[in-house]
Amino acid sequence: MSKAHIIGLGKSGVAAARLLKKNGWEVELSDRNTSDSLQQQKQQLTQEGITVKLDYSFEPETSLDLVVVSPGVPWDIPALQRSRETGIETIGEMELAWRYLKSCSWVGITGTNGKTTTTALTAAIFKTAGLYAPACGNIGHAACELALSATPLDWVIAEVSSYQIESSKTLSPQIGVWTTFTPDHLSRHYNLENYFNIKAGLLNRSQIQILNGDDYYLRQNAINLWQNAYWTSTQGKANLVGDVAKGIYIEDEWVVALGERIIPVESLQMLGNHNQQNLLMAVAVAKLAGIEKEAIAEGVKNFSGVPHRLEYICSWNGVDFINDSKATNYDAAAVGLRAVPAPVLLIAGGKAKEGNDHDWLRQIKEKVVFVLLIGDAAEFLAKRLQKINFRHYEIVENMERAVIRGAALSKKYDAKVVLLSPACASFDQYQNFEQRGDNFRQLSLALNQKKR
């Protein structure tokens, strides 16, 4: 019997373990951590015949035939390098799912920012068209959960991070989408060129390529890579890259795709110009997948957005509280600031990331009346604000104090919006950005409870 080791007891790791067990493998699953909830999972999985090792750092053993890595595990840690050097096949969870689902049609959506909204909107349009095409990857299901599903799939709509591309060397979608490209994850990928080449790998293996023509870096560096690519632009057909007949663009407040008017832009319920770009990407995928324009239009009209992406939570004393917890880097946070009306009271901070913060700081100077800083990065971000002579900030450390203080200061400064858009990862105080956004939502809603 072949033996596999899966690293990471999250959703992806558990789904990978169950998929391999179902297909006759001897399976062990490990995690560096231990907790009551992990112990409960261990009990359940042990009953299913899967060996679980908690508080365990993986080391390759000669008895192994396969190592499967969860998305959050760095691809270049020494244990995985040793695993590859000793000839043990080492892959990511997404690659494992692909091997069992390659007979399905796949959409692979990657990019620094915008990929989650594009993935969710694409899946919503496909569902409206009567197709079973769930979102997976960084959103929705783990990819291996779909491979375990008894329901036949029409399409797989996968959000694919650079981490997942890196560990999925044969994943080859029918349609590959590249939403944006800005510096991110450089602590993992070391330099911009390496990060770019990892993303490009997915598009290289895709039969059809769709790219964001409004993204400066993609326009400069990807234009010669795929001669038959489909390019989008929110700025009309005059701004398109390449063949206009293959363009997806906005003209006279309409989305035009491959020469056909599809839907008025105002049908989209989400805030921000960046979401118009996400709309174009999703419409492009749907058109190229053969979906009728009526289903595309209906899917867009009924789509209200995704949690933690400029998500409206509530209004308190005339001030809107908006959750943009997924803005985990400077570029995403600058996009969030551009999308909301000024004056803004901003909550930022968490675990700092490398990246260029100039646009973010410029948006703060233009639109923000006060900044509340939380988490490990608070002192560092305070120094960045001082550098631009922005003095209206306060270090409040945690989310509870930020929301209470934000409510009080929003009156003083006549803010229209209290915006959580952290520009940082969440791992200093939370397990993930979702937990951070949920905490902000709960605290914001509690303000109205107190008012009563």
Write down the mean pLDDT value for the chain: 93
Residue 37 burial class via C-beta count within 10 angstroms: exposed 0-12, middle 13-18, buried 19 and up:
exposed
What pLDDT does 186 receive?
Answer: 47
Beta strands in 202-343 (DSSP E): 208-212, 230-233, 248-251, 254-257, 260-264, 311-316, 319-323
Cβ count near 438 (within 10 Å): 16
Whether the predicted pLDDT of 22 surpasses 90: yes
What are the pLDDT digits (tens) for 197-214?
A: 999 999 999 999 999 999
What pLDDT does 85 receive?
Answer: 94
What pLDDT does 450 receive?
Answer: 67
- Confidence class of residue 271 from pLDDT cuts 50, 70 and 90? confident
Residue 34 burial class via C-beta count within 10 angstroms: exposed 0-12, middle 13-18, buried 19 and up:
middle
Architecture category of domain 95-301 in CATH? 3-Layer(aba) Sandwich (3.40)
Quick one: DSSP state of residue 153? Answer: P
Whether the predicted pLDDT of 452 surpasses 60: no
Q: Which residue has the higher pLDDT, 190 or 93?
A: 93
Coil vs helix vs strand at 254 = strand
- Confidence class of residue 451 from pLDDT cuts 50, 70 and 90? low
What are the pLDDT digits (tens) for 117-174?
A: 999 999 999 999 999 999 999 888 999 999 999 899 999 999 999 889 999 999 999 9
Report the alpha-carbon distance of residue 160 to residue 343 in Å, rounded: 35
Report the alpha-carbon distance of residue 396 to residue 400 in Å, rounded: 9
What pLDDT does 327 receive?
Answer: 94
Q: Which residue has the higher pLDDT, 116 or 439?
A: 439
Coil vs helix vs strand at 170 = coil
Quick one: DSSP state of residue 152? Answer: P
For the chain, give every domain's residue range: 3-87, 95-301, 311-451
Q: Check: CATH 3.40.50.410 for 3-87?
A: no
Coil vs helix vs strand at 253 = coil
What are the pLDDT digits (tens) for 253-264?
A: 999 999 999 999
What pLDDT does 89 receive?
Answer: 97
What are the pLDDT digits (tens) for 284-331?
A: 999 999 999 999 999 999 998 888 989 989 999 999 999 999 999 999
What pLDDT does 72 receive?
Answer: 77
State the DSSP H helix or E strand holding residue 151, giving kind and residue range, or none if neither: none
Whether the predicted pLDDT of 183 surpasses 70: no
- Any bridge partners for residue 373, and if so which? 348, 395
Q: Which two tokens stand for residue 130?
A: 């009567």
What are the pLDDT digits (tens) for 329-365?
A: 999 999 999 999 999 999 999 999 888 999 999 999 9
What are the pLDDT digits (tens) for 388-404?
A: 999 999 999 899 999 99
Q: Cα–Cα distances in Å, from 439 out to 100, 118, 436?
A: 37, 25, 5
Assign a CATH topology to domain 311-451: Protein-Tyrosine Phosphatase; Chain A (3.90.190)
Single out the residue of 110, 114, 106, 160 nearest to residue 133, CA to CA. 106
What are the pLDDT digits (tens) for 27-52?
A: 999 999 999 989 999 999 999 999 99
